[in-house]
Amino acid sequence: MKKNLTLLLIFGFFLFGCNKKNKEPNRQVTYKIECTDCFVVWEENGTQKNIQHVNSSWTTTFEGMKDSLVLLCAMNTSGSPQGVGATIMLNGDTLKHAINYCPISGTVVVSDTLQ
């Protein structure tokens, strides 16, 4: 009886103790823009979203998935020349950043793939 119990415990250990999944790392993605009046388009886990007439206070954060595209595009809609900036952050660190100083119709695009 003790032998059967010992074999059962050993089997249970291997069955439940060694079947651990590798936890996926956190991928907290944050998009930020720099402008006074912009149209913004972004990709969020395969879904394209947009918003009009936002400024530098606009930001959005989500949990990204492995191998997904991160994309942020900001377009000047103010009618006057301005620099337009876009930043993609991953877990609080800058992943991509760009600024464009094109007069009137300044547009900036930044993208990457999450690993």
pTM of the prediction?
0.77
Say if residue 16's pLDDT is above 80: no
**Amino acid letter at 43?**
E
Q: What is the pLDDT of residues 35-65, one digit of tens each?
A: 999 999 999 999 999 999 999 999 999 999 9
CA dihedral 38, 109, 64, 55 (to 10 degrees): -20
Q: What is the predicted pLDDT for the residue at 91?
A: 96
Predicted pLDDT at 78:
87
Instruction: State residue 59's pLDDT score.
Output: 97
Mean pLDDT of 80-98: 95
Q: 50-83 burial by CB neighbour count: b if 16+ within 10 A, else e?
A: eeeebeeebeeebebeeebebbbbbbbbeeeebe
How large is the average pLDDT for residues 93-108?
87
Q: Are 30 and 89 in contact (CB under 8 A)?
A: yes
- How is the chain split into domains, by residue range? 24-113
Residue 29 amino acid letter: V
pLDDT at 22 over 70: no
Each residue of 66-76: pLDDT tens digit? 999 999 999 99
Domain topology for 24-113? Immunoglobulin-like (2.60.40)
